[in-house]
């Protein structure tokens, strides 16, 4: 009698844990799917950021700024005599 009870308990426990394993595995897959999606989104944002930085750096390229300032905006470098020194 006692042995049957133990056996029954073990069988039930076995089935229960098997189901839990199935559930956990499913959840793991769902979580992994979500992770992959988020990582992809993160990568996309990083890539976009990198591209924007590249674009900004290209616009801000020293040579270009130099030429635009001189040619288009007509800016000149102040000569020494143009600089006023203030003493406190």
Partner 1 sequence: MKLPGLKLPGLPKPDARDKARRNGARPAGNRPRGRTPFNLRGRLTLVCGTLALCSVALLARALDLQVIDKEFYQQQGAARFLREIPIATSRGMITDRNGEPLAVSSPVESIWANPQELLKSQARLPQLADALGMDRDELQRRLSQRAGKEFVYLKRRINPDEAKAILALEIPGVASQREYRRFYPQGEAVAHVLGFTNVDDRGQEGLELAFDDWLRGTPGAKRVIRDRRGRIVENVDLVRAAQPGRDLALSIDRRIQYLAHRELRTAINETGASSGSAVVLDVATGEVLAMVNLPTFNPNAVGTSPRDAHRNRAVTDLLEPGSTMKPLTVAAGLEAGVIRNDSLFNTHPGWIPNGRYRTTDTHNYGVLDTTGVIRKSSNIGAAMIAKRLSDAQFDAFMRRLGYGKVTGSGFPGEAAGLFPTPDRWSGTTKQTMSYGYGLNATPLQIAVAYAALGNGGLLHQPSFVKGQHAPARRVLDPNIAKDVLHMMQTVTEPGGTATQAAIPGYHVAGKTGTSRKASAGGYSRRYIGYFAGLVPVDKPRFSMVVAVNDPDPSRKGYYGGLVSAPVFRNVMEGALRLMDVSPDNLDAWLAAQAEAEAKRLKASGHALPAEAAATVAAPATGAVP
Binding residues for partner 1 (CB under 8 A): 29, 32-33, 35-36, 46-47, 50-51, 53-54, 57-58, 60-63, 66, 80-81, 83-85, 87
What is the 3-state secondary structure of the chain?
CHHHHHHHHHHHHHHHHHHHHHHHHHHHHHHHHHHHHHHHHHHHHHHHHHHHHHHHHHHCCHHHHHHHHHHHCCCCCCCHHHCCCCCC
Shortest approach of partner 1 to residue 48 CB, angstroms?
A: 10
Shortest approach of partner 1 to residue 66 CB, angstroms?
A: 7
Compare residues 22 and 47 and give the one whose CB is closer to partner 1.
47
């Amino acid at each position: 009698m006692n042995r049957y009870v133990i056996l029954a308990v073990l069988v039930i426990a076995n089935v229960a844990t098997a189901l839990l394993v199935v559930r956990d595995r499913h959840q793991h897959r769902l979580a992994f799917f979500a992770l992959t999606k988020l990582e992809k989104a993160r990568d996309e944002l990083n890539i976009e950021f990198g591209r924007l930085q590249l674009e900004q750096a290209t616009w801000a390229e020293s040579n270009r700024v130099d030429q635009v300032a001189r040619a288009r905006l007509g800016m000149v470098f102040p000569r020494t005599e143009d600089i006023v020194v203030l003493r406190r």
